[in-house]
């Protein structure tokens, strides 16, 4: 299989969103809307990637940073393309680009029930931060 990785563009949104929707383990919300993804890609240019098999979108990863740490969101690979190294390649490319920008730690969120996702990240060497919990609050204008 000849998989090509390229930068995610907003024109990919419909196919990427369809992939996210069919991917178990991802919790989609308002932050995954087209408007929010436009904002995210503009703020984090050339850090998010799609994987293409003969031009057909089979994987995607959103990646950004806040100047201190990188973040990877919504990594997904089409079911019939899994276990062929595509997820690992997408993550590797995101991290390579973060390192080039001087970012030396990357975080991500995995739904606590997503055992397959957690196993994948652990296989890639990521460590669960048991000493921390995640907290958040919606911001209203």
Binding site residues, ligand COA, CB under 6 A: 23-26, 75-77, 82-88, 110, 114, 116-117, 119-120, 123
Smallest separation, CB 2 to ligand COA (Å): 15
Smallest separation, CB 74 to ligand COA (Å): 6
Closer residue to ligand COA (CB): 136 or 141: 136
Closer residue to ligand COA (CB): 82 or 139: 82
Smallest separation, CB 69 to ligand COA (Å): 16
Closer residue to ligand COA (CB): 50 or 77: 77
How far is the C-alpha of 26 from the C-alpha of 46, rounded, in Å? 23
Q: Which residues contact 85 (CB under 8 A, 6 or more apart)?
A: 3
Smallest separation, CB 141 to ligand COA (Å): 29
How far is the C-alpha of 39 from the C-alpha of 89, rounded, in Å? 25
Copy the structure tokens of residue 48. Answer: 């998010």
Q: Are 75 and 96 in contact (CB under 8 A)?
A: no
Q: Are 24 and 65 in contact (CB under 8 A)?
A: no
DSSP state of 43: H
Closer residue to ligand COA (CB): 123 or 140: 123
Q: Which residue is nearest to ligand COA (CB)?
A: 87
b or e along 121-137 (b: 16 or more beta carbons within 10 Å of the residue's beta carbon)?
beeeebeeeeeeeeeee
Closer residue to ligand COA (CB): 112 or 141: 112
């Amino acid at each position: 299989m000849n998989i090509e990785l390229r930068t995610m563009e907003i024109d990919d949104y419909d196919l990427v969103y369809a992939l996210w929707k069919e991917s178990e383990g991802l919790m989609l919300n308002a932050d995954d809307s087209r408007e929010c993804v436009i904002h995210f890609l503009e703020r984090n240019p050339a850090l998010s990637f799609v994987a293409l098999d003969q031009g057909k979108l089979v994987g995607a990863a959103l990646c950004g940073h806040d100047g201190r740490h990188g973040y990877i969101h919504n990594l997904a690979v089409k079911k019939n393309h899994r276990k062929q190294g595509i997820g690992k390649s997408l993550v590797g490319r995101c991290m390579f680009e973060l390192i080039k920008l001087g970012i030396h730690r990357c975080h991500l969120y995995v739904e606590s029930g997503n055992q397959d996702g957690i196993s994948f990240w652990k296989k890639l060497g990521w460590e669960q931060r048991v000493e921390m919990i995640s907290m958040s609050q919606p911001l209203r204008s």
